[in-house]
A and B are shown apart, each in its own frame.
Chain A
Amino acid sequence: MSSPSATLVAGEGTAAAVSPRQPRPPRRNGSRLFPLWLLTPAGLVMIALVLVPIAFLVFTSFTDYNQRSLFTGAFDFIGFDQYTKIFADPDFWWSVVRTLLFTAAMVVGTIVIGMGMAQLLTRLGTVMRYVVTVVMIFAWAMPTVASSQVWNWLFQPGYGVVNWLLTQTHLFGDMTNVAWSNNPFLAYVCIWLLIVWGGVPLIALTLYAAQTQVDPAYLEAARLDGAGEAKIYFSIVLTFLRPTLLLMTILSVIWDFNVFNQIWLVSQGGPNNATATLGIFAYKTAFVGTQVGTGSAITVVTTIMLLVVTAFYIRNLLRSGEDL
């Protein structure tokens, strides 16, 4: 199948990164302006809808834009006051710590389970592999809004099937009426499970795709030399997986750092802001508390943190053979 899907894989330099680069069209003098014409509409839209708003966000973070301003349109330029305010606010720092720890927990969870599943997929027969793949596609396809609602139902006090199951195990006593979202630790566990459940399929399938590209001759040679399966995995397979693994890790960091729906729909950032990661914290400040200026400042700081990770992502994409 000379499908574009196969070439897309190669072109995007991820799953099956190893493939020759496409030859580039030569520079043509007569048509210099043509690409600019093609770019203009998208460029104007991007400038108007993305770059200008970002500039406006930065500007707003230096103003006292609040509820009053929403109605009157009046606000004052107050310099760095919003930043000094958030940097002096322990709630903000707690939010930073929470975001970092929670992101780390989610990324480790998805990556470790994803790697395990990718390895498992290589050891399964055709039928079982097909079953697991289809199961993963279903979990992956569920929109986060829908899966968050399902989670609320699974973990419902009184009627939640998870509460019932845990009670049946007698490990934690009677869990029947536990309200997960009312307890900071349990709320985190619940959201963590939701995000790992939704995140594993992509990681597992991508790593599996990369793993099938490992030259079988290496594995065979190692087996002949008497290497154990664990040793083969850690010293050979993992070496081949490294570029893909790194990309998936960086992407997971960016995604999990930005998680909004699942937290908002399961706990609304509660109880008492205990699950308010930076995105939730900024949203609540800007839209629930209508301290738009403060919310903007939080978002600017969040964006800067993410840009650092994004820079890593782009650098790695370039290194892994992506020809920009």
Chain B
Amino acid sequence: MSTIVEPVATAEAGAVEETADRVVTKAKRGKRPRIVSNVIAVVFSVVWIFPVYWMINTAFKPRNEVMSSTPIFFPHSPTLSNFIAAFTESDFLLNLRNSVIVVVGTLIVAIALGALASAALSRFRFRGRRTILVVILAVQMLPGTALLIPQFLVFNNLGLTNNYFGLILAYVAATLPFSIWVMRGFFVAIPVELEEAARIDGASEFRILWSVLFPLVTPGIIATSIFAFIAAWNDYLVAYTFMSDQSMYTLPVWLVSFTTPTTGTDFGGQMAASVLFSLPVVVFFLIIQRNLVSGMSAGAVKG
């Protein structure tokens, strides 16, 4: 694993700093700014990681340590009971299955349609292409309730609420625009010469797409799938509105409604549930971190 930025640029920046140090001598830029920077960095890191630490820390505490008026910063007797309770006393597995069904369904449809559309929008020039791209970008910026209200009304009439298929359709609507947008970036990067060589060899358009372009764009398809996975996996609002039966909840809805038979909110259980729910996303973030900054800042994924 490496840092997000290109190592080359980092090395350059370091080199400059050294030269500058030598030139300006120790007058202004001695060791002190480094120490100040490091102190700020440490404070920042502690503050920023604390909520994550507190979630994990709480997840491993027995109930009496969770409900302590003086916080316990390190579990005295760490336990897995919160995690075990999530598996045995809640609908975790059932709702996990719902999430997986819906997310996989969304990915298959959004990626297949998105790959074809983004190929068209990147490898061909035709009238209306720019308009389509602008519409895609604009749709991506719509407020959540703009699609939710009308989709709910229509889907409710068609019997598509409380239903996998309906939720998949809603997620396809949400993920297709950015899937097209992100994959387009990968298609654009493929040199035209490859396509032309294949054309000279007599390959049909479909053949070129299938045998030349798609294999080359596979990393882009994978990255886009992960973006779409994260978006569908994390959605709360649509699932909460569409799924009324507890047996149809997806994991985010399960996480919010999380209570065990014991009275009151079980924070230990809730934090264990949060860990279980966040884990896949964190893993994927670490895998695709190189693509994250560019893809997300391209408006790909809503904050």
| B58, CB-defined interface residue at 8 Å | yes
Q: Which of chain A's residues 228-273 have a Cβ closer than 8 Å to chain B?
A: 228-229, 247-248, 251-252, 254-261, 264-265
| B96, CB-defined interface residue at 8 Å | no
| A144, CB-defined interface residue at 8 Å | yes
Q: How far is the CB of B249 from chain A (nearest CB, A)?
A: 12
Closest to A59 in B: B150
Q: Given contacts A39-B121, A287-B241, A299-B145, are A56 and B153 in contact (CB under 8 A)?
A: yes
Question: Are B285 and A140 within 8 A (Cβ)?
Answer: yes
Interface size on B, residues (CB 8 A): 131
Question: Are A42 and B180 within 8 A (Cβ)?
Answer: yes
CB-defined contacts of B189 to chain A, threshold 8 Å: 4, 7-8, 11, 22
From B5, B121, B132, B149, A299 is in contact (CB under 8 Å) with B149
Question: Are B281 and A265 within 8 A (Cβ)?
Answer: no
| Interface of chain A, main secondary structure | helix
CB-defined contacts of A248 to chain B, threshold 8 Å: 297
CB-defined contacts of A224 to chain B, threshold 8 Å: 23-24
Q: Given contacts A139-B48, A150-B51, A310-B141, are A213 and B124 in contact (CB under 8 A)?
A: no
| A156, CB-defined interface residue at 8 Å | yes
User: Bound complex: CA of A132 vs CA of B219, how far in Å?
Assistant: 27
Interface stretch, picked from B77-85, B86-94, B231-239, is: B231-239
Question: Are B116 and A286 within 8 A (Cβ)?
Answer: no
From B16, B48, B145, B220, A136 is in contact (CB under 8 Å) with B48
Which of A7, A153, A164, A229 counts the most chain B CB atoms within 10 A?
A153
| B246, CB-defined interface residue at 8 Å | no
CB-defined contacts of A135 to chain B, threshold 8 Å: 44-45, 48-49
User: Bound complex: CA of A31 vs CA of B123, how far in Å?
Assistant: 11
Question: Are B293 and A205 within 8 A (Cβ)?
Answer: yes
Q: Which of chain A's residues 79-127 have a Cβ closer than 8 Å to chain B?
A: 117, 120, 122-126
| B9, CB-defined interface residue at 8 Å | yes
Question: Are A143 and B281 within 8 A (Cβ)?
Answer: yes
Q: How far is the CB of B233 from chain A (nearest CB, A)?
A: 7
User: Bound complex: CA of A161 vs CA of B72, how far in Å?
Assistant: 9
Question: Are B277 and A146 within 8 A (Cβ)?
Answer: yes
Closest to A58 in B: B150
| B38, CB-defined interface residue at 8 Å | yes
A-B contact pairs, 23 of them (CB 8 A): A5-B223, A25-B123, A31-B205, A34-B205, A39-B132, A43-B117, A50-B173, A57-B147, A131-B41, A132-B41, A137-B286, A142-B52, A144-B234, A149-B274, A159-B66, A202-B297, A219-B16, A220-B16, A258-B143, A282-B143, A303-B143, A307-B138, A313-B141
Q: Which positions in B face A, CB cutoff 8 Å?
A: 3-6, 9-10, 12-13, 15-16, 19-20, 23-24, 28-29, 33-34, 37-38, 40-42, 44-45, 48-49, 51-52, 54-55, 58, 66-71, 109, 112-114, 116-117, 119-121, 123-126, 129-130, 132-134, 136-139, 141-154, 156-157, 169-170, 172-173, 176-177, 180, 182, 185-186, 188-189, 192, 195, 205-206, 209, 217, 219-220, 223, 230, 233-234, 236-237, 241, 252, 255-256, 267, 270-271, 273-274, 277-278, 281-282, 284-286, 289-299, 302-303
Q: Which positions in A face B, CB cutoff 8 Å?
A: 3-9, 11-12, 14-15, 22-28, 31-32, 34-36, 38-39, 41-43, 45-46, 49-50, 53-54, 56-57, 60, 65, 70, 73, 117, 120, 122-126, 128-133, 135-147, 149-151, 153-154, 156, 158-159, 161, 164, 176, 197-202, 205-206, 208-209, 212-213, 216, 219-220, 223-224, 228-229, 247-248, 251-252, 254-261, 264-265, 278-279, 282-283, 286-287, 292, 295-296, 299, 302-303, 306-307, 309-310, 313-314, 317, 324
